[in-house]
Amino acid sequence: MNFYNSKTDSDLTLLEPTLEEYGDEAENLITVLQSAQEIYGYLPTDVIIYISKRMCVPITKIIGVATFYSQFRLTPIGKYLIMLCKGTACHVNGADGIYEAISEYLNITDGETTEDGLFTVKCVACLGCCSLSPVMMVNDDTYGSLTPEKAVNILKDLAEKEEK
């Protein structure tokens, strides 16, 4: 990423209410970044530069915060964010096989998005649903007691719904 020669594609005016509310106080950086990600879906380069200038916070500090906390994304995600639990209970109950099936079906790996922009896969440490293991979330929906076949069928159903 070349932050200094980045073109502006984002509507930066959408971020103004947040910046007006939280001002240039560096202790509000995480809140501002959360708001920016909610607005844009991720943290685009031009938005990071704008926040840096408005809050007088070095770009390196913003990138450090954005890469330290797993909640932040520096690249766009698909319409469906698949979070596959890799915690102990899920691991013991077959999460690796589910990951392999999902990766093969979508032809992507952890952190990647399908070419059509429909799906992003993200392996996570724990979803807090151990009694449902193995489990995945797709956006706000939780799917438990998964098998590789069941996981792929869920994704097929979502893809078919998009074709209609």
Place of tokens 């939280």: 22
Domain count, the chain: 2
pLDDT at residue 7 in the model: 53
Q: CB under 8 Å to 35, separation ≥6 — which residues?
A: 15, 18
Same-domain status, 48 and 109: no
More confident residue, 103 or 6: 103
Domain assignment of residue 140, given as a range: 80-163
d(CA 45, CA 114) in angstroms, rounded, equals 21
**H helix intervals, 56-147:** 59-68, 88-92, 95-106
Same-domain status, 91 and 49: no
**H helix intervals, the chain:** 16-22, 29-40, 45-55, 59-68, 88-92, 95-106, 148-163
- Name the average pLDDT for the chain: 92
| Model pTM score | 0.74
Residue 125 domain-assigned (yes or no): yes
pLDDT at residue 5 in the model: 46
Q: How many helices (H) and strands (E) does the chain have?
A: 7, 4
6 pLDDT higher than 60: no
2 pLDDT higher than 60: no
Which of 99, 87, 75 is CA-nearest to residue 124?
A: 87
